[in-house]
Amino acid sequence: MKHPLTDSRWNAILTNDRTKDGTFYYGVTTTKIFCQPSCHSKAPKKTNVVIFKTPDEALEANFRPCKRCQPTGQKLTNELWVEQIKQYLTNNFQQHLTLDTIASDCHGSVSNLQRTFKRITQQSPTKYLAMIRLKHSQELLNTTDYSIKTIAIRCGFSSDTYFNTCFKKQFHQTPIAYRSLTK
């Protein structure tokens, strides 16, 4: 069931109004995380907010509880938080992502994000993001005739030069050489 994002609710989110906790919960569609109105995480874009009446409603819609405000009343385990981060990276790999952005959008600090992610996955979040981008680039090289520059941009790389460098480092050949071998 869809609930309206009223001006009153939006104001409660922006002002972290603790008196509204329990009356509604808000989810952020880009991160698939839901919070209480009093959460001190970065304010989301209004267009990315959906309203839930209960935590169960948010969970049923495949949103996960915020690590910071713990809207279900239970502490989010580090393993679940890392799953949230991985899902966020998978959904947003085409965007310009920094550690600050990832940490803020996933409701944690940069140092805790790096430490926890690496401890659980044995790799840094930036390495994980690079692997998602490179895997997607292989798919595009195999299935499209897009230019290398277009593929680089579609996969979230800052330039085709950087994309070439990353691709060659990982696969020991350039994207053009890879494409010629697979087509």
Query: Over the Cα atoms of the chain, what is R_g?
Result: 19
Q: From 89, 88, 87, 94, select the one nearest 151 (Cα to Cα).
A: 94
Q: Are residues 64 and 109 in the same domain?
A: no
Domain boundary among 34, 56, 73: 73
Tell me the C-alpha distance between 21 and 69, whole Å. 10
* Long-range own/partner contacts, residues 146-150 (CB < 8 A, 24 or more apart): 148/175, 148/176
Q: Are residues 123 and 60 in the same domain?
A: no
Name the domain count of the chain. 2
Q: Are residues 172 and 111 in the same domain?
A: yes
Domain boundary among 73, 93, 109: 73
Residue 1 binned pLDDT confidence (cut-offs 50, 70, 90)? low
pLDDT given at position 91 = 93
Q: Encoding tokens for residue 139?
A: 């798919």
Exposure b/e, 21-34, CB count within 10 A at least 16 = b: beebbbbbebbbbb
CA 125 vs. chain centroid, Å, equals 11
- Report the DSSP beta bridge partners of residue 35: 26
Q: Are residues 108 and 67 in the same domain?
A: no
35 catalytic? Reply is yes
Cβ-based neighbour number of residue 148 at 10 Å: 19
The pTM assigned to this predicted structure is 0.71
Q: Is the pLDDT of residue 73 over 90?
A: no
Sign of the Cα pseudo-torsion (20, 24, 29, 31, in order):
positive
Q: Encoding tokens for residue 38?
A: 């009093």
What are the residues whose beta carbons fall under 8 Å from the beta carbon of 147, sequence distance 6 or more? none
- Express each pLDDT in 87-108 by its tens digit: 999 999 999 999 999 998 888 8
- Express each pLDDT in 121-152 by its tens digit: 999 999 999 999 999 999 999 999 999 999 99
pLDDT given at position 107 = 81
Q: Are residues 66 and 85 in the same domain?
A: no
Tell me the C-alpha distance between 170 and 89, whole Å. 19
Q: Is the pLDDT of residue 76 over 90?
A: no
Tell me the C-alpha distance between 21 and 24, whole Å. 7
